[in-house]
Structure 1
């Protein structure tokens, strides 16, 4: 019994030492992650402002900002635009990323070493650089219209007539490489003996995709979708640089609307209340994806 108790005490002492080593990480997490979230929640219930009478004193105003949100038609427009941008980007990044991963599967190293960096170039670029490149591509005298004119088609004012389409396509181009890398890793982990057995049984490519490949990488699909959702919800620089939320309110997403209210109209309290909508949307999608991969 004494030996058992001694061993238990030794184990507890080791666990205590490990816990002590985690204290700096916990402190940094609390200071740079938990505290900003708590302050954001608090400020959303205040009249915090940068100019005017409200800038002199910080008052707790309860649900006033949230009541204003439900009455503001721009909030409804920005939520709808955010969801359109999110769904379009997710579908494009997932489908295109998976297609590229399938096409590069089992290819020789020379081809993969050449194609991989070309695709990754768009992902490693800063968001502002991607926005400038895509603006140049879609502008009236840009590359896309030059291609259309070369085949005797009329140029199109893409950024004015199809602004949502342009920012969705730009975000797809920017984020597809991340999905491709995740799917490549997952596809490499699919047991080759199962695929060989399916090939011997005469299984077609479509059947193999539906019955073998997708079930084996479903967790990767869910995880990749969740990560892309959270990153897409926070896209700001790309949209602000390309369209500024316009023309009108056609590309007014929640991050753009939040920025305009907080730093253009100087209503920081109202801006943080808008940011809480983004937080709630992110939580809803995260919980949904987590439940999909519960097993």
Structure 2
């Protein structure tokens, strides 16, 4: 028995070597941990802390920071503008991200599946060009296109003779939804394109031979296989769309009135227009909670294992 025990103990890693290995691993991870602490964990903690204070940019509250408990949250949930902003945000996310970007991203990716490499490259460049365009530039492009004397009105007036339409004033939500779909569809396209390329062509061919229509192949074969990619894409696109500010603010300023005042716009107005930073940070937590709820629902509805 002694030789056997000696052999086993010889193969056991020494505590000293394990400690050195852990130290090396921690050393390599340290830069990433520091970045997370500085740019993610610390701002999150400060946001939660300031939401319970009377932090302000001007006045007496700017000179004397005080802890006021749940006053900001009581004020927020008694403010009808909050519920209006939540409704506008849900409409914007539903039509811009969930329906718009995901649908068109999948459609473009599916139509490009199996096509010529040069064709895929050209279409990909055209779609991705909108995605890599800075948000402020994209917003000004759409303002120029949809303005009273913009490109769209010039085309309509030249070919139909109708009077110019104030699209940004009469249909502001539709305008910002379309603009965000145009800019964000590329991400969904790339996600679905990578997932579709992993599906063997033989599976689709077998389904077609068995008599499945194109629609059944998509709904009963491809979409179930892409369940993981769909969930990941929905979560990322939804969280990104929840935080869209520059595009909406540049195109409509949250107006006319409050017709496009989503939660980021409402938060900005309270924090930097009304100078109530404490109140603004409390509103930001609502955005965080809505994003967490969407993520949880996606995983539950699509039954994706984490």
TM-score range, shorter chain: over 0.9
2:236, 2:13 → 1: CA distance? 46
3-state DSSP of counterpart to 1:60: coil
Give the C-alpha shift of residue 151 in structure 1: 3.4
Q: 1:95-244 residue pairs with structure 2 within 5 A?
A: 95-152=103-160, 154=162, 155-244=164-253
**Residue in 2 aligned with 1:294?**
305
Give the C-alpha shift of residue 142 in structure 1: 1.4
Segments of 5+ residues of structure 1 without an aligned counterpart are none
Give the C-alpha shift of residue 146 in structure 1: 2.2
What TM-score do the two structures reach when normalised by structure 1? 0.95
Quick one: which of 36, 40, 52 aligns to 2:59? 52
**Residue in 2 aligned with 1:281?**
290
* 1:92 has 2:103 as partner: no
1:79-127 Cα shifts (integer Å, max 9, x gaps): 1111111111121111111111111111101111211101111100000
Segments of 5+ residues of structure 2 without an aligned counterpart are 1-7
Give the C-alpha shift of residue 8 in structure 1: 6.7
3-state DSSP of counterpart to 1:246: coil
Query: What is the root-mean-square deviation of aligned Cα atoms in Å?
Result: 1.5
**Residue in 1 aligned with 2:278?**
269
2:137, 2:52 → 1: CA distance? 36
**Residue in 2 aligned with 1:65?**
72
Instruction: Mark the structure with the bigger radius of gyration.
Output: 2
3-state DSSP of counterpart to 2:160: coil
2:109, 2:49 → 1: CA distance? 44
Give the C-alpha shift of residue 12 in structure 1: 5.1
3-state DSSP of counterpart to 1:20: helix
Structure 1 residues 204 and 48: alpha-carbon distance in aligned structure 2, compared to 1, 3 A threshold: same
1:153-212 Cα shifts (integer Å, max 9, x gaps): 633221111100000000000001111111111111112111121122232111111111
3-state DSSP of counterpart to 1:151: helix
What TM-score do the two structures reach when normalised by structure 2? 0.92
Give the C-alpha shift of residue 281 in structure 1: 0.6
**Residue in 1 aligned with 2:269?**
260
Structure 1 residues 4 and 121: alpha-carbon distance in aligned structure 2, compared to 1, 3 A threshold: same
1:119, 1:21 → 2: CA distance? 37
